[in-house]
Every structure is written in C-alpha cells, then in structure tokens.
Chains A and B, each alone.
Chain A
C-alpha cells in the first residue's frame, strides 16, 4: 500500500473562551475532538458536515493555522516526514511550499492593492523559490495559463474580475509553488452554479495533471459527491463515518449521514415529503452530549447511545462508522487509510 501523504491521528483542537480576572476558569470549545484519517498522494478526501462540526478547524490545524491541543499530524514530502506540530523554521518553509490553501471568498482572500501578477507571485517570493524576477514571471505565466487566466489579466487588479475569475486567481496562487497537497475550504460555495461547475472541472483537471492530493471541505454533499474519492462526515468535532464516495452515497450507515442525504433538496419536484427530518440544531461544542454526540438528535437513538461512546465498525471494506447500531467488524482503533 502507498504511504499516506497526510496522516492525522487523534487530532484535538480546543479553544478557551471567556474567563479572565474574576470570571473564573475559561470554558473549552472542543472544536475538533479526536479526528484521525489519512490522505494518499493524489487522493481527494472530502470533509462534510454542518456549520460548527469542526471541518474548517481540521484543515487549519493541518496547515498549522490552528493550535493542536493533542494528536499528531504528519506530512510526507519525498522521503522526509514532517511533524506539523513540531516544525523547525526550515521545515516550516518546506511545508508551506508543499501544502497550500484555497479559501471560500475570493473577494476577501485577494489583496485589492496588488496586481494579479503580484498576488500569484507572492508565494514564490515569500518562500524564495526563484532566483530572478524573470524566473518568477515565467512561473507565474505558466500557472496562470494552466488556470485558464488570460495573460493580459496579470497586470490588472482583482476588482476588475468576477467571482469565478477571482477564484481561478486564488487557485493559481495556491499552485505556483508546485505543491503536492491542497486544502480547499468551501472553495466553490460562493460561486454561481454555472461558474461552480467550471471551477470544479478546472480543479479536477489540475489535480490529475499535477497528481495533487486534496482535503476538500464543503457543506454541500452534491459537490463532494462529484469531486471526492473518499468522504468523511463530521459531527460536533468528530468523524462519524468515512468511506469511498460511491459507498457512502449508495450505502450510508450512520443515521447522521442518512439524515444529511435525505435533507438535500431533490431536483425532482415529485420527490417531496416523506424524509427523515432531523429535529433541533447542532449542540454547543462547549458541552457536547455524552456518549454518542449525535444521540440528542438521532431518530433511532437507544439508551446505550447516551451512556457509551460508539466504537468503530466496518459494515463493508474501507467503510468505517461510529455508531452503536451498525453491525460489522469492530477491530479498528483508528480509521484506516482508504486506497
């Protein structure tokens, strides 16, 4: 089996909130609480969940943009394995070159004071990856062409561009350092449908050309289904189900995954009504429910769900679920890599 490119083990990210002088101890927000997964080179892992599920925090922790409370994150670059929690400044530079990010809002992620050329060139300059301005320009032009940007656009400022064009600029900036791993956090969520499809197709083409691995974070299951090889479903800081995309969508096992799928509005006007509706909203991550965190909203919860944390079960090969009610082998202490 190929060695994973990114490996996350028992990751927890806890933030203190409130507290202070005379206010007592701060409370802890358990944004991410014991998450494990692997991403293989060239693989696209989708991370889906409602707001507050911790999916963005997982992405940020991998790029050292959120504090790792405990757990390990490793990134393999060639033969070196970098421990993201304990990076030397030399290794951090290396990590920044090989792992990049695309954000949701291309109106906020691009500086209005820089030309498109300067925006795309910034990673090369910050990481000192090129030796001359000529070389930088050449790499910027190459990546801009790959991202279907017009070369005359390079001299303009971002305000002259539409949302879809801006997102292509953000993609070019992420790819200019020739990374092997990209985190896309709701990268198409703010785009119109007709534009969203073209940006997704572009990302897929680039992924195949450059053998990129992705952590693709989205709240939109339909987008995830079309883009990802493997999907992990998060709820309140934990992964509750992980499986290859076709398996997850044809055969969801966790009641939360089932509820999410049934809540997607169908394009078929006759497909209305009878669905499993979740009641209530996602609880606060400050005091998550005991046992299975989903039990307060679960339509099939039993008394044991309140008391004990479910262990991992595998209803089929490469498919792992954390639910008391799912039958299957239960030998996995952590989620195994899906190849």
Chain B
C-alpha cells in the first residue's frame, strides 16, 4: 500500500437528537481506505458501524448531525480532493458522489429496490443520471451488469420486479445496481447476514471477483468476524461508536491487543475448537443513553478493575505494531515502559 488513501476519515462524530436526549452514535472515529483494498468494520449492535458509513454518503436522517470538526477526505476519480463532511446538501458534488463515486449495498435488498419499478427501470435511471447516454444504450449496460453478477437470463430479469427474484438473486441484482456506475468505493452493510451460509459463500466469492476486475475499494460491515476474515485486508473493530483496534486482518485475528477484540474472538463458537468452552464477554452492551465515562468498554473489561484510569479517562489510540493501533490504557503503559 504505497499509494495515497482513497478515503481518509478523521475525528468523525455523529450525534442523534432523540426524545430521551442526545445520543452519540459515532465518537471521534478515524480510519482510511486504500485504493483496491477492503476495510472490514466489525462490531456488535450499537457499535456505530452502520451510522459511520451512512455519514460517508451523507445519508443520515434529519435528527442526526455530523460534528463540525469531522473530516471525510475523499479523492474523486478525476483526482480532485473533497471533504464530504463539508458538502452542502443538496449539491451537485454530493449527487455526483452518491452512486458515481461511492455506492452502497444493504442487508435487505428490499431496502434498495422500489417495489413499484422494475429492476431495469431503476438501473437505467441510475445510469442516465450520471452519464449522457440513450435509454437503449443504458439498457444494454444494465443487462451486461446483470450478467456480470451471475444472473441467468438477464434480458428477462431486467423487466422483472425485485420481489420476483429469490433471496440470492435479489442480492446479486442489488450488487448490479450498486456497481453499474463503477464506483471507486463500495460500502457493503451486512450484505450476507440475511442469507443462508451456502448463498453467503457465493456472494462473498462474487464480491471478491468483482473487486479484482473493477479495482474498487470496499468497506465491508459485519457483526461476523468470520465473514470479515474471509474478505477484508484491514479491519476496524468498533464498540459503542469508538474505534477499539485497527490493523491488518491477520494481525487482529492472531494477535489482538485490545481486551474487547480478545473477548470477541474468544466468544465465537469455532469448529476447530469444539472441546473448548465458549467464553462470553461479561455483562451487557450498555444502552446508548448510558454511555460509560472513560473507556467505553470499561464496564465489561476484565482488566478495568485494577486500573485507575479506565473509568475516567478516554484512552488514546496507541500504535502497537505496523499499522496496528489499539485504544487501551494498558497498552499505553506497555508502550511507555518499552520506550523508557
């Protein structure tokens, strides 16, 4: 990874105004995505993984606000650098970014397709917004894309509605819809979670193949570290809106440094360790309205009791290895000891 990152997010914070008060969904999050690479974002419910990526496309609901010091630096296909967090809404630049530069696929294809229009209507609409081509030409492009994602009889399918397809085919159609404008970055938000494991394997293979062919970057969000492990180059582990640990996938799986990542890996039932008991992380994920002070993980962390800072001070992100960072007071101390 010698080239410049395609996307650099720094100090991203997102808050929601709710009836019960202000809820912090994403808190001081920084990460980057390199061209042609896959960043996996893993986290449990309430970790802010979806909200942070919705913010990248400025697709947040009206009661959400991106904090003023947040920066989302993106380099367009033409080489122009913009801060997506600062674009006004609506604006021409934002229209060009959505679909043309950044695109998104979801867990539920029904969230991406309108039931009132055929798959073809929706793909052709997308193509003609971004490119000045005839309807006939756009239709040909759409059919090619459907074929590319492994949909049989694309000439027939293009005039069908999304609900007429099976679950796996619908997911493929959604990928076609997202990729027809050849975005530089695809955001995939739990795209295989609702699928059976055999279909999930097919979709993961397809995404890896399309990434190779199109050279796009992917942000792949999942609660399943196994899925992330199969598709990602780098991984960002999130908990309650904050980055706990980031690094190359092999480093994170084999040598996790943050107590949360370590706990998460131990809690996963593994087929290669059937005789070992499952070790849950104690306690429950706190409600977003009761965010813990200090390190957000301290209420469930096995080390927090013997450490005075965890309850009061937010730990900084510490470099623990090559491109490997973790936000934990224990690691800060270790690194400090080593340097003395």
Contact = CB atoms under 8 A, between A and B. Distances in A.
Contacts of A261: 271
A116 B225 CA distance: 34
B264 A194 contact: yes
A112 B198 CA distance: 36
A330 interface: no
A269 B201 contact: no
A125 B215 CA distance: 63
Most interface-central of B201, B263, B285 (chain A CB within 10 A): B201
B171 to A, nearest CB: 11
A245 B196 CA distance: 21
A197 B199 contact: no
Given A223-B269, A266-B230, A281-B166, A201 B197 contact: no
Given A246-B274, A263-B198, A162 B287 contact: yes
Contacts of A245: 274
Contact of B278 (A200, A262, A264): A200
Given A193-B267, A264-B226, A264-B271, A269 B249 contact: yes
A314 interface: no
A304 B202 CA distance: 28
B200 A193 contact: no
Contact of B199 (A165, A262, A281): A281
A275 interface: yes
Contact of A219 (B169, B197, B230): B197
Contacts of B249: 269
Most interface-central of B166, B205, B229, B263 (chain A CB within 10 A): B229
Contact of B229 (A198, A226, A263, A266): A266
Contacts of A265: 200-201, 204, 224, 226-227, 229-230
Contact of B280 (A50, A195, A260, A262): A195
Contact of B167 (A200, A249, A281): A281
A126 interface: no
Contacts of A262: 201
Contact of A225 (B168, B199, B224, B274): B274
Contacts of B263: 194
B223 A193 contact: yes
B196 A219 contact: yes
A28 interface: no
B198 A226 contact: no
A130 interface: no
A222 interface: yes
A51 B284 contact: no
Interface string A266-306: 11111010010111011000000000000000000000000
Interface string A132-170: 000000000000000000000000000000111100000
Contacts of A220: 269
A221 B271 contact: yes
Interface residues of B, number: 45
B265 interface: yes
Contact of A194 (B44, B197, B227, B250): B44
A88 to B, nearest CB: 40
Contacts of A268: 229, 253
B223 A192 contact: yes
Contacts of A195: 44, 280, 284-285
A259 interface: yes
B334 interface: no
Interface in A215-230: 219-223, 225-226
B268 interface: yes
A162 B264 CA distance: 18
B197 A269 contact: no
Contacts of A50: 196-199
Contacts of B278: 197, 200-201, 226
Given A162-B285, A268-B253, A269-B250, A263 B274 contact: no
Contacts of A104: none
A220 B197 CA distance: 8
Contacts of A263: 197-198, 200-201
Given A162-B287, A219-B196, A264-B197, A193 B268 contact: yes
A279 to B, nearest CB: 8
A222 B268 CA distance: 9
B271 A222 contact: yes
Interface string B1-40: 0000000000000000000000000000000000000000
Interface string B193-212: 00011111110110000000
A44 B159 CA distance: 48
Contact of B281 (A165, A194, A275): A194
A197 B282 CA distance: 10
A178 interface: no
Contact of B269 (A222, A269, A279): A222
A47 to B, nearest CB: 15
A195 to B, nearest CB: 7
A311 interface: no
A15 B226 CA distance: 37
Interface in B243-299: 249-250, 253, 263-265, 267-271, 274, 277-282, 284-285, 287
A249 B267 contact: no
B201 A249 contact: no
Contacts of B279: 197
B284 A266 contact: no
Contact of A281 (B168, B223, B268, B269): B168
10 contacts: A163-B45, A192-B223, A201-B277, A222-B268, A246-B274, A249-B274, A263-B197, A265-B224, A277-B198, A278-B198
Interface of B: 44-45, 166-169, 196-202, 204-205, 223-227, 229-230, 232, 249-250, 253, 263-265, 267-271, 274, 277-282, 284-285, 287, 300
